[in-house]
């Protein structure tokens, strides 16, 4: 994951910690990023900041290796899938 400034210069990058390979990103209306690591099946909840990578939480939800399907968010429920299964996760604040 990489953060660019308005001048086009790199502000920060995660490199391999975490790698966040091949997964999808979903930006919510409240300013959070949901990032699926397509290689590990881990879902990251990220507070985007120009100061640096700030993961609020992470959880392993899927076990595949090619997890690149789009995620969907509705009324606090996040729907995600890999090649073999689909999950619906309650991501409402305070849960």
Q: List pLDDT tens digits, range 65-87.
A: 789 899 999 999 999 999 889 99
d(CA 61, CA 85): 10
Q: How many helices (H) and strands (E) does the chain have?
A: 0, 9
Q: What is the pLDDT of residue 41?
A: 92
Phi and psi torsions of 69, nearest 5°: -70, 145
- Selected residue with higher pLDDT from 67 and 17: 67
Its pTM surpasses 0.85: yes
Q: What is the pLDDT of residue 94?
A: 75
The whole-chain average pLDDT of the chain stands at: 91
d(CA 52, CA 14): 9
CATH architecture label of 2-90? Beta Barrel (2.40)
Taking the domains of the chain in order of start, what are their residue ranges?
2-90
Q: List pLDDT tens digits, range 18-40.
A: 888 788 999 998 899 999 999 88
């Amino acid at each position: 994951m990489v953060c660019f400034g308005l001048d086009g210069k790199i502000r920060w990058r995660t490199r391999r910690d975490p790698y966040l390979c091949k997964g999808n990103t979903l930006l919510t209306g409240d300013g959070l990023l949901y990032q699926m690591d397509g290689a590990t099946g881990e879902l990251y909840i990220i507070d985007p900041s120009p100061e640096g990578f700030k993961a609020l939480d992470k959880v392993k939800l899927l076990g595949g290796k090619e997890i690149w399907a789009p995620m969907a968010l509705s009324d606090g429920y996040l729907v995600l899938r890999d090649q073999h299964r689909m999950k619906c996760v309650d991501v409402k604040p305070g849960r």
